[in-house]
Amino acid sequence: MSITRRIFLRNGALAVVGTTALPGFLTRAALGAADPGARSKRLVVIFQRGAADGLNIVVPHAEPSYYAMRPTINIPRKSVLDLDGFFGLHPAMASFEPLWKQKHLAIVHAAGSPDPTRSHFDAQDFMESGTPGVKVTDDGWLNRALRELPGSSAGASAKDKSAFRAIALGPSLPRILSGKEPAVAVNNLNDFSVGGKNPNAAANANTFEAMYDHSVDTVLHGTGQETFDAVKSLKAADPAHYTPAANAHYPKGRFGDSLKQLAQLIKANLGVQVAFADIGGWDHHVNEGSTQGQIANVLGDFSQSISAFWTDLGDLGEDTVVVTMSEFGRTARENGNRGTDHGHANVMFVLGGPVKGGKVYGRWPGLDQSHLYEGRDLAVTTDFRLVLSEVVERYLGNKDLKTVFPGFENQPGQFLKLLA
Amino acid sequence: MGMPSPGRRLLVTSVLLIAAALTTQFALGRKKDKLPGTASTPMDEHKRAVHALNRLTFGPRPGEVDRVTRMGVDKWIELQLHPDKIDNSALDARLAPFRTLRMGTKEIVENFPNDQVIKQIADGKASLPRDPTRRAVYEAQLQRYEDKQERKKEEEKDEAVKSTTQSSAAASDVPAEPGQSTDPDQIRRREERRLANLKTQELLDLPPDERMKEILRLSPEEQKSLAATTRGARADALLEGMNPKQKETVMSLNNPEQVVVNELTQAKLLRAIDSERQLDEVMTDFWFNHFNVFINKGADRYLLTSYERDAIRPHVLGKFEDLLVATAKSPAMLFYLDNWLSVGPDSEIALGIPPHGRYGPGPYGRPPRLRTKGKQASGLNENYGRELMELHTLSVNGGYSQKDVTEVAKVFTGWTLQQPRKGGDFHFEPRMHEPGDKMVMGHRIKQSGEREGLEVLHLLAHNPKTAHFISQKLAMRFVSDDPPPALVDRMTQTFLKKDGDIREVLRTLFKSPEFWSPSAYRAKVKTPLEFVVSAVRASGAEVDDTRALAVTLNNMGMILYGMQPPTGYSMKAETWVNSSALLGRMNFALGLAAGKVKGVKVDPASLANGPAVTRSDAAGSNAAGSEKESSADPQQALATLENSLLSGDISKQTHDTISKQLEDPKISQRKLDDPKRPPNLAAITGLILGSPEFQRR
């Protein structure tokens, strides 16, 4: 990364605050990723918080025991959107069908964490830290994945990185992105500035910036710096210009909004390398529903938001990989309240330009009693870290998997080869 | 260097002789105490008062540090540990208009009917109330319900034609707006709005009682459109001069459930801001969060009023076991963690054994409806059993297994509710209860119906793992994110020795050297709730309406009563320090000080007048003369505001930055030819409240 560009970026961005805006093309050139290589690749991680019921999402409709174990909440064969004669999508996910047919969408079934916990909190923590069973890990794998990448503090000058390199959509920075590499949380792009329309906004912003910049409070100082860098780049790039593509229909709600804003940031060429968004509402202990009902509603929101995001990105999708995960699956059998309790393995989706889609990856362990984990749950046959390792190494180009997933015996030879 | 004594400081600031240069030195000197590593001098009484107020309250109000210092910090703490001895009548008067706070759940549901109640009327299973006021509310809801049903039918028709859009149920059940303006629905709605606006204007011209009568005379359809189109200032005008009941009724025309939720959240913030029993509020917040229930899970919307008031509040400084039992039996928790539906696999209901005579109508009436869309529920639900051990008592590494979870779930089968959506209370239903003995963590729980659950709660409440977990969490709230293990161990010992007496555990904590360690001073980063409330308190704001504050908290990610998972909100710095949150805090600080937060009035001039204004002996005569003087010099104003908002605990860096900014004509509001113009006190206040220092307590 050349020093001239860095200086231009910093000074250029600074100049924008409180004064006149630079012409759009100029700021885009300044802020945009100059490197044609690794820099333009981006990974989007989506977390389904609350333990999504993978068996009702990608349905093993050719398994007779599936129907036997779920007498009232199964997805009838006639309603399933068949994928390969054995698995099928929940009908609320119709918007995923074209992505599958275009071979952009791959599925990994019976994936999950080897840790046996059925605690939402612990399991999410382990999936975000990337170290199942180890609680003392203090950063997240998505943050560590950035470390060896071009533009990281180790790979290049610390100041030479986009403020939006690592972002989380939402009011707080999640565990998965916490760590040494700067990362910002963005709740609402429209509010992402100091002082709003107040005439003193620029003066106040500068004062706050100086305060946090000089602060000896290490926690607040670091975050302050990241924040003000991000505010400036955002102001320069003015993502408000980037409205969703005409055919991208985001559902109303927090998740759709998150992905819509993420698409804006990506299209505004703000140098997003990794991003994180989450969607809750999966913990269906009671009245889970089948083709209609709770799970259908949340799946509609989930899949339509993702497919709208994909549509919205257009050609930029070629340089984007989206991975979804959830802390664990749910019991193979329905419980006494037409719901499901906490289980084990789940399903992951991998979507993107370089993805070899149209295929369900991973070994299917089966739902026979003898094959169930602890006699009740779908067994894990693919460690979630194997899927992520392949994306991190093959796609993002970070070869230091020992740092990203410490303690995971990663054999690149074992990769599922779901990336081209 | 020594901390200036409180008396001297007061004198200095109220006599107002201090020069700008001196002030800078003052700030400089203070700073040294704050540098990490150098913080080794024990706290003096003034600093102890600041610390105690920062930890036991939602932040000091103007003049409060001096009041506590005068009373004696230890004496003040002891008083806070006995909230019943503290007069709180001013707050009680403020809360009086919120009638739902004093209602039982049944009464709430009757007065503010939910969809279930309305559906019953629509289906002809219940009749409208006779009281005309209540009837109006019901009729408006009935109208809304029928409109919704009609829309649903139409949508289904549309769906049949083109099977597409599934509206997301994530945020609300409001159907997605159709995008086309040619939509006949939208045209109809626009026309309705126009007519309603005309009506509203007529209504606004009437005196309150007449206005209320006219509103009740409107047709349900008109009432519905009136409610739906009257927002913001117009809504305020419509309610102007009405009594609480009238106000509630008018608001109920639009959404009765929202009235209940609104009163609960308003009360939460008003209490945090204005209660004299601050520790009681801090602990209520702590325990609610520990036994978290999410307000947007169905019936919990109107179960939380009773939950907080009847299950949490009476026990916040009492015995842990009482608190645990109260939450276990509370309709809010039984509903939230699904236990009310959990059925023993070998229970009479699961086996389909018909009720015999003695379980007939009986004292409890009919057993709860266990039908979930046609078929009978017939199995265990582990949700409560797991969270009871993981989150409420033992903690995740508390030494229980999946088998224990299942056994505990069996123990609690039969702990259910009768018609929770109608406000039904806890009920033990023997026909749902799993027969036989259960083994929980090596203990045999003999078959004894409802008593099994109480036995398990007793076991859990007295388990050393629980004692440790609770002590750890309390120490995290009051001392630091990573509290000293020795302190947690001593608190655990108190917990075990004193039968889980929370007041005693807190006393151990408040008397510990760890609590008073200089390294604990301002070591905790405030959560959004703590930040917002402490800013309002520090600025001495007058609060009429807390809704804007609640919206601020939503944007900061700490929705009141809105944490969906049972874990509750984190109280650690790492959760709350991020870009989005910091910007939110700076903007709130600026907005609050500039008087832009609706319903909250701040007077920076009175703050800049220093602590003198809040002293009882300085009332009256001092105001006019000294205010001008104190505010005239920007540097002086800054020094005074630093003292009143942050007890002077401001770093040299922050002080210098603001000080430099004061030379900016925009901030100082001063032109070169007009040196007398007072500085922009609101801007200085906002900058201090948004500073790194104010983010900690």
Averaged pLDDT for residues B98-126: 91
More confident residue, A390 or B679: A390
Residues of A within 8 A of B341 (CB-CB) are 286, 336-337
Could you tell me what percent of chain B has a pLDDT over 90? 55
Give me the pLDDT at residue B379, please.
83
Q: Is residue A47 part of a domain?
A: yes
Q: Could you read off the pLDDT of B399-421 as tens digits, one per residue?
A: 999 999 999 999 999 999 988 87
Dist. CA B416–CA B429, nearest whole Å: 7
The band of A154, judged by pLDDT with boundaries at 50, 70 and 90, is very low
Tokens of B638: 């800054």
Q: Which residues contact A90 (CB under 8 A, 6 or more apart)?
A: A56, A57, A58, A59, A75, A80, A81, A291, A295, A296, A299
Q: What is the 3-state secondary structure (H, E, C) of B271-283?
A: HHHHCCCHHHHHH
Q: Is the pLDDT of residue B378 over 80?
A: no
Nearest-Cα distance to chain A for B55, in Å, is 19
Specify the pLDDT at position B670.
54
- Quote the pLDDT of residue A37: 40
Number of domains in chain A: 1
CB contact under 8 A, B587 and A172: no
- pLDDT 10s digits, B605-657: 888 875 443 333 333 433 334 444 445 688 888 999 999 999 999 999 999 99
- Select the more confidently predicted residue: A373 or B680: A373
pLDDT tens digits, one per residue of A356-378: 999 999 999 999 999 999 999 99
What distance in Å separates the CA atoms of residue A50 and residue A370, rounded to the nearest whole number? 27
Q: How far apart are CA A136 and CA A226, in angstroms?
A: 25
Residue A121: inside a domain: yes
Say if A136 is an interface residue toward chain B (CB within 8 Å). no
Instruction: Report d(CA A376, CA A387) in Å as an integer.
Output: 24
- Mean pLDDT lowest among A57-66, B276-285, B294-303, B480-489: B294-303
- Mean pLDDT confidence for B359-366: 45
Closest chain B CA to residue A163: B579
User: What is the nearest CA distance from A181 to chain B, expressed in angstroms?
Assistant: 13
Question: Given this model, what pLDDT does residue B684 score?
Answer: 92
Average pLDDT over residues A132-142: 88
Shortest CA distance from A253: residue in chain B: B171
- In this predicted structure, what is the pLDDT of residue B481? 95
B166–A297: do the CB atoms touch at under 8 Å? yes
Report pLDDT digits (tens) over B204-254: 888 888 888 888 888 887 887 777 767 777 788 888 888 888 888 888 888
Residue A142 inside a domain? The answer is yes
| Single-letter residue type at A243 | T
3-state secondary structure of B167: coil
Which of A337, A338, A372, A374 has the highest number of chain B CBs within 10 A, making it the mutation to test binding with B? A337
Q: Does A270 touch chain B (CB under 8 A)?
A: no
Residues of chain B positioned with their CB less than 8 A from the CB of A121: 390-391, 396, 565, 567
Tens digits of residue pLDDT in B34-61: 434 344 678 999 999 999 999 999 999 9
A346 within a domain of the structure (yes/no):
yes
B8 or B186, which is more confident = B186
Contact with chain B for residue A119, Cβ under 8 A: yes
pLDDT of residue B18: 37
Q: Is residue A339 part of a domain?
A: yes
- Residue among B176, B582, B657 whose CB faces A207 most closely: B657
B587 with A280: Cβ contact below 8 A: no
In the prediction, which pLDDT does B166 show?
41
Per-position b or e across A103-130, b if 16+ CB within 10 A of its CB? ebbbbbbbbbbebbbbbbbbbbbbbbbb
Interacting residues of A247 by C-beta distance below 8 A, sequence separation 6+: A311
- In B, which residues are within 8 Å of A207 by CB distance? 657-658, 661, 687
Which has more confidence, A197 or B518? Answer: B518
Q: Which residues contact B365 (CB under 8 A, 6 or more apart)?
A: B418
Interface test mutation site (partner A, options B431, B558, B586, max chain A beta carbons within 10 A): B586
pLDDT in tens, B541-569: 999 999 999 999 998 889 999 988 899 99
Q: Which residue has the higher pLDDT, B34 or B508?
A: B508
Chain A with chain B: Cβ pairs closer than 8 A: 231
pLDDT at A238: 81
Output the pLDDT for position B471: 98
Closest CB to A337: pick one of B379, B680, B695. B379
CATH of the domain at A125: 3.40.720
pLDDT band of A36, cuts 50, 70, 90: very low
A166 strand-pairing partners: A274
Start-to-end C-alpha separation, chain A: 28
Query: Is residue A206 a part of any domain in this protein?
Result: no
Q: What is the pLDDT of residue B239?
A: 87
| Closest-CA distance of chain B to residue A9, Å | 20
- pLDDT at position B38: 41
- When mean pLDDT is compared across B95-99, B145-149, B267-271, B607-611, the lowest value belongs to B607-611
Which range is least confidently modeled, A156-170, B348-362, B363-377? B363-377
List of chain B residues whose C-beta atoms are within 8 Å of the C-beta of residue A72: 375
CA distances to A174, B359, B503, B552, B602 from B595, rounded to whole Å, are 33, 62, 39, 14, 6
- Rounded to an integer, the average pLDDT of B492-517 is 98
Instruction: Answer whether residue A379 is part of any domain.
Output: yes
Going by the DSSP 8-state scheme, the letter that residue A251 receives in this structure is: P
With 0-12 CB in 10 A as exposed, 13-18 as middle and 19+ as buried, what is A241? exposed
Q: Rounded mean pLDDT of chain B?
A: 83
Residues of B in contact with A279 (CB under 8 A): 170
Per mean pLDDT, which range of A83-87, A386-390, B43-47 is the poorest? B43-47
Residue type, B70: R
Which residue from A203, A210, A285 is facing B338, i.e. has the nearest CB? A285
Give the model's confidence band at B169: pLDDT under 50 very low, under 70 low, under 90 confident, else very high.
very low
- pLDDT for A12 equals 37
Q: Which domain holds residue A106?
A: 43-155+165-187+251-261+274-414
A94-108, B102-116, B207-221: least confident range? B207-221
- Report the chain B residue with the minimal C-alpha distance to residue A202: B666
Q: Which residues of A286-309 are buried (b: 16+ CB within 10 A; e: fewer)?
A: bbbbbbebbbbbbbbbbbbbbbbb
Q: Which residues of A are less than 8 Å from B664 in CB distance? A: 203
- Mean per-residue pLDDT of chain A: 86
Burial class, B120, CB count within 10 angstroms (exposed 0-12 / middle 13-18 / buried 19+): middle
User: Cα–Cα distance between B282 and B256 in angstroms, integer?
Assistant: 29
Across B121-148, average pLDDT:
86
Residue A209 lies in a domain: no
Q: Closest residue of B to A196, CA-based?
A: B587
